[in-house]
Structure 1
Amino acid sequence: MTQSQHTITYSRVIHLSHIIDQSVPQWPGDPSIEFDTVAELSQDGYYLRRFSLGEHSATHINAPNSFHSYGVGIDQYSPQSLVVPAIVIDICETTTIYPDYALTIADILAWEEEYGTISSGSVVLLNTGWQNKWWDEDAFFNRDTQGIMHFPGFNSDATQFLVDERQIGGVGIDTHGVDPGQDNSFATNRLVLEKPRIVLENLTNLDQLPAKGTTLVIGILRLRDGSGSPAAVLALVP
C-alpha cells in the first residue's frame, strides 16, 4: 500500500506562540514560571538553565485527559494530528465593544458565506484581538470587582455545530481560554476534547493570518500522561 503524500505550499512562516518568561499572565492557581541557571559559560564552559512551568502555561495545547477521565494524554497525539489546516474567524470589532462576546453559529455561517464551507479537519482559530493585552495581566483577564474574568470565546452551541456539522479538527484562540471568561463549565474544552482534537490557547499574531489556507505545525513536549503542553505553534501562510 502506498502512503499518501501531502504537499504544503507557503510563502511565510509566522510564530503563533508568545515568548515565555516570568511575566506572562498566569491562570489563577497555576504554578509560577521559574528559570534557574545550572551552568555558566565562565565557570563550566557552557550555559544551561532549568525551567519550571505548568502544562497549561503561556501558549499551550490542552489534552483530553485534562477534562475527561477516559481521555488520552498529550503524549498520545500522533505526529499527523499536529500538522493541520486552519481557518481564522475575526471578531475583533465586536469584542472591542462586548468583551464577553462568544462566537455564534450565525458568525460561522456568515464567515462561510464569504469564504466557503469550513473543511473537515480544520482547526478554527478565533481572532479576538486579545493578543494585544498579553503584557497587561489586568487587561488580559479583565476581572470585575467580584473577580470574574471577562474575555471572549466560543459559544457552546457554536462549538457543537463545528464538531457535529463541520467535523473540525480543533479550535484555538488568543485568550487564556477557548471558553469565555465567565464560563466556568469549560463547555468548549469538554466538547472538543471528547476525542484527541486540538485546543490551543494564548495564541498570538492571528491578525497576520488569512481567513483560510494556513497550515499549522504544532510542536509539543511529549509529557507522559500530560494534561497538555506549552506549544510552539508555527503558521505556514500561503
Structure 2
Amino acid sequence: MNLKTFLPIAPLFALALTTPVRAEEPGLWQVYNDTFKSAKYVDLTHTITPDIPVWSGFGNSTFSPAKAGTDLDGYAAKGEVFTFEKHGFEATNYVLQTDQLGTQLDPPAHWAPEYPAIDELPATYTIRPLVVINIEDKVEKDFGYALQVSDITDFEAQYGTIPEGSVVFVRSGWSKDWPDPELAKRKPFPGVGLDALKFLHLERKILFHGHEPLDTDATPTLEGEYWLMHNGFAQAEGVANLDKVPPVGALVAIGFPKFGGGLGGYARYIAICPPDWQYGISVGEVAEAPLPKSDKPLAFDPARGMRVRQ
C-alpha cells in the first residue's frame, strides 16, 4: 500500500487503534443476546382465579384481603384488614383447596409416594425443546379422542423425530372455553392414550408430556396417569395457547413453586419461539422496568371474590 492509498483510510485506522475491542461476553450472556433477547415469548398458562374449572372433588378456592394474624402494637389490630390508606400496603389471603389447580406440573408423588414430590424435581427441568402435536381436527369429530401412536409417527414423518429430553404438549382445543367452570364436568374429553404415553417415554425418552384438559385421559381408572406416576414420570396439565406455538423449533421455560412435599404444582410455562414467529412478544417490546402505571388501580371486588382493576 502506498501513501496515497493509505491517507483516505488513515483516520479509520487510527480510530481502530484507539477503540478498545469489546471483550467476549462471559458465560451464557452471549447466548442470551444472540438468541433469547430477540425471541418471541408466548405464555402457555391460565390465570388462577376463584372460579376457574376444577374437579368437583376439590371444590372452589377463595381469595380475600389479608388480615393481621396478631396484634401489631397499634399498627394493626388482630383481624384487621391491611389497607393502602392505613398501612401503606395490601396483601391477599388465598385458600387454595388443592395443588391441582389451573395450569399444573404433576410430580409422580401425586399418585406414587415413593417417587419425587414437586420440591424434589431437579433444576434441569427449567428449559427444554418444545414439541406441539396438534389433534384438533380429530377432536372436532370426536371430543373424546385420545392421542395415538399413529398421530406421533405421522407428526414425525412431517417434522422429524421427537428429540430425547424434550417436552411434548398435545394441542386439542379443549381450553378454548376456559375459564368456563363447566369444562371440568365435560366427559369424555380429549386425552392422551396409554400406548402413546409409553411410546413417548420409552421410545422417544421425553422429559414429560402435557395436555390442555385437567386429566390425562377419560378412562374409568385414569390408566395413563396411573402408568405415568407409577413409573416416575411427571406431566403438565391445563396448558393454554398451544395454537400460538410452532410444532417444532421452540423451547419451553418451566417454573413452579417449591412446596415441601407438594403433590402438584401451580406451573408457569412460557414458550420461547424464533424471532420471526407470528405470535408472542420480544424483550423491549413492552415496558418491563419500570412497569407501566395504570389509571385503574386494583381493588377487591366481592362479587368476583378477587382483586380487579376498576
TM over 0.5: yes
Superposed, 1:164-179 pairs within 5 Å as 164-179=202-217
Given candidates 47, 51, 62, the residue that maps to 1:19 is 47
Secondary structure at 1:212 match in 2: coil
Per the alignment, residue 225 of structure 2 pairs with 189
Per the alignment, residue 29 of structure 1 pairs with 57
How much does 1:224 deviate?
0.6
Q: Does 1:212 align with 2:248?
A: yes
> Alpha carbons of 1:82 and 1:185: their partners in 2 closer, same or farther (altered >3 Å)?
farther
> Alpha carbons of 1:188 and 1:214: their partners in 2 closer, same or farther (altered >3 Å)?
farther
Per the alignment, residue 99 of structure 2 pairs with 55
> Alpha carbons of 1:60 and 1:101: their partners in 2 closer, same or farther (altered >3 Å)?
same
Once the two structures are superposed, what CA deviation does each residue of 1:1-59 show, in whole Å capped at 9, x if it has no partner?
Answer: xxx97957342111111111111001121142111211221121101111122111011
TM-score between the two structures when normalised by the length of structure 2:
0.69
Given candidates 138, 149, 154, the residue that maps to 1:105 is 149
Secondary structure at 2:236 match in 1: strand
Per the alignment, residue 271 of structure 2 pairs with 235
Given candidates 129, 133, 149, the residue that maps to 1:85 is 129
Task: Give distance in 1, aligned partners of 2:253 and 2:154.
Answer: 27
Once the two structures are superposed, what CA deviation does each residue of 1:172-199 show, in whole Å capped at 9, x if it has no partner?
Answer: 11111222xx313222223333455441
Per the alignment, residue 226 of structure 1 pairs with 262
How much does 1:220 deviate?
0.8
Q: Does 1:160 align with 2:198?
A: yes
Task: Give distance in 2, aligned partners of 1:13 and 1:195.
Answer: 32
Task: Give distance in 2, aligned partners of 1:214 and 1:178.
Answer: 23
Task: Give distance in 2, aligned partners of 1:47 and 1:67.
Answer: 37
**Is contact 1:163-1:192 (8 Å) kept?**
no
> Whose strand fraction is larger, Structure 1's or Structure 2's?
1
Per the alignment, residue 146 of structure 1 pairs with none
Q: What 5-or-longer segments of structure 2 have no aligned partner?
A: 1-26, 67-81, 275-310
Per the alignment, residue 236 of structure 2 pairs with 200
- Give aligned-pair identity as a percent: 27
Secondary structure at 2:155 match in 1: helix
How much does 1:70 deviate?
0.8
TM-score between the two structures when normalised by the length of structure 1:
0.89
User: Aligned partner of 2:173: which letter?
Assistant: G
User: Aligned partner of 1:155: which letter?
Assistant: G
Task: Give distance in 1, aligned partners of 2:52 and 2:193.
Answer: 26
Task: Give distance in 1, aligned partners of 2:128 and 2:106.
Answer: 16
> Alpha carbons of 1:127 and 1:189: their partners in 2 closer, same or farther (altered >3 Å)?
same
| Cα root mean square deviation, aligned | 1.9
How much does 1:111 deviate?
0.1
Q: What 5-or-longer segments of structure 1 have no aligned partner?
A: 144-148
Task: Give distance in 1, aligned partners of 2:234 and 2:46.
Answer: 18
Task: Give distance in 1, aligned partners of 2:108 and 2:146.
Answer: 22
Per the alignment, residue 14 of structure 2 pairs with none
Count of paired positions: 227
**Is contact 2:128-2:251 (8 Å) kept?**
yes
Q: Does 1:122 align with 2:166?
A: yes
Once the two structures are superposed, what CA deviation does each residue of 1:96-131 show, in whole Å capped at 9, x if it has no partner?
Answer: 110110111110000000000001011110000011
